Amino acid sequence: MEPIYQFATPQSIENQKAEQQKRAATRQVNTGKCCEAAEAQKVNSSSTLLALSFVLLTSLFANFAANAQTAMVLHSNNSKTSKENKADVAIRSLDDITFPEADFKRGAYLKLRTVYVDVPVSKFKLKPFPANSSAETRAELDFLLHLQKTRNAEAINRTETMANIYFDPLTTNPADADYTRNINSLFYIGRDLGPWFNAENLPVTAQVLQNVIQDATYYIFSLKADFNRPRPYQLDARLENLEAPGHASYPSGHSSTSHVHAYILSHIFPEYKDHFMGVASDMAFSRETRGVHYPSDSEAGKEFARQFVEELMKSQKFRTDLEAMKAEIVQARAGNQLSEK
């Protein structure tokens, strides 16, 4: 490199200084322009970045808003679905309620041997009871709540008496403590015929009715086990049931057997059919008053009795025994009428 001051003279030095100052000024100008350009570029870059950021944020906000709206719709739909699902679950849960198998205390009745009727249980065509969640069942429960609200001590005592009117086919030994109540139950529907209408005066009638109710009991309890309907108080805790039977609700056993008695006695005394049927209906209604049966249980019991007696009448053995029963009753009635004169 050539030295700056080689062979320098005062004029050359002045010239060199001037040249240096000129180059310095030029560099300063160029540097300023570069800085301005750089600054401008920086500003432009910042503006571009801001613009891009604005566009990005706007896009993100739009997406967020759309997603939020979608989320709200989904949440609304999910909430609606959730409510519907809860309602469906509640309905399913209600309809899943049956009479507890562990509480079924009459399994021995399902092994009874019949005397007159020998047909499959399916021979008896009872329509299915209303679903637990149905409006019909709700109306029945409301009716039972009304009966509960209006029943008084007298009504309760009356239904208490009627609750003990039933025949147990497994209690037929005169030595049993419950034998007298049991056998007298067979004569309850026809008791208004007179004080002579009893087991002591009518041994043939007592035996025929025992056979009949033994057959009926087998089919009634088989149907109860098949339908397995819960008791009313198992669906509505507000019901204050006066007893807790150890078997399912449908059809009503008291209604079934009472109507069986009514139909049979009507064959012997057709002129009293309405009276017998009325007594059987009162018996069925007493079970509703006690909060242990739905009205549809009572109706099913009556329908079972009608079909059951039709099957009875197909049995030659029953028709023969019915004639013997009728002869005994007619004779006993005539004898008591003569003695009263």
> Do 132 and 39 lie in a common domain?
no
Q: 30 or 102: which carries more pLDDT confidence?
A: 102
Residue 2 domain flag: no
Residue matched to tokens 């197909």: 314
Q: How many domains, in total, are found in the chain?
A: 2
Residue 149 domain flag: yes
Residue matched to tokens 């019949």: 114
Residue 288 domain flag: yes
> Do 84 and 115 lie in a common domain?
no
Residue 24 domain flag: yes
> Do 212 and 322 lie in a common domain?
yes
> Do 56 and 144 lie in a common domain?
no
Give pLDDT, residue 20.
57
> Do 157 and 42 lie in a common domain?
no
The last residue of a domain, from among 96, 124, 154: 96
> Do 75 and 108 lie in a common domain?
no
Can you give the CATH number for the domain in which 314 is found? Answer: 1.20.144.10
Residue 3 domain flag: no
pLDDT of 274-313, one tens digit each?
Answer: 999 999 999 999 999 999 999 999 999 999 999 999 999 9
> Do 151 and 292 lie in a common domain?
yes
In degrees, rounded to 5, the angle at the alpha carbon of residue 36 between the alpha carbons of residues 31 and 39 is: 120
> Do 133 and 65 lie in a common domain?
no
Name the least confident of 13-22, 141-150, 178-187, 282-291.
13-22
In degrees, rounded to 5, the angle at the alpha carbon of residue 232 between the alpha carbons of residues 227 and 234 is: 90
Whole-model pTM: value is 0.74
Q: Please tell me whether the peptide bond between 130 and the residue prior to it is cis, using omega within 30 degrees of 0.
A: no
Give pLDDT, residue 57.
43
> Do 50 and 68 lie in a common domain?
yes
Residues 6+ apart with CB under 8 A from 132: 94, 95, 97, 230, 235
Instruction: Report which residue type is found at 250.
Output: Y
Q: What span, in angstroms and rounded, lies between the C-alpha atoms of 87 and 95?
A: 12
> Do 247 and 135 lie in a common domain?
yes
Q: Mean pLDDT, the chain, as a whole number?
A: 83
pLDDT of 216-232, one tens digit each?
Answer: 999 999 999 999 999 99
Residue 173 domain flag: yes
Residue 1 domain flag: no
> Do 107 and 77 lie in a common domain?
no
> Do 92 and 109 lie in a common domain?
no
The last residue of a domain, from among 51, 68, 96: 96
Q: What span, in angstroms and rounded, lies between the C-alpha atoms of 18 and 93?
A: 105
pLDDT of 75-96, one tens digit each?
Answer: 444 444 344 455 555 566 899 9
**Mean pLDDT within 311-319:** 98
- % of the chain with per-residue pLDDT over 70: 72
**Residues of the domain holding 35:** 8-96
The last residue of a domain, from among 70, 96, 122: 96
Spell out the long-range contacts of 178-182 with Cβ–Cβ below 8 A and sequence spacing 24 or more: none
Dihedral sign, CA of 13, 19, 21, 27? negative
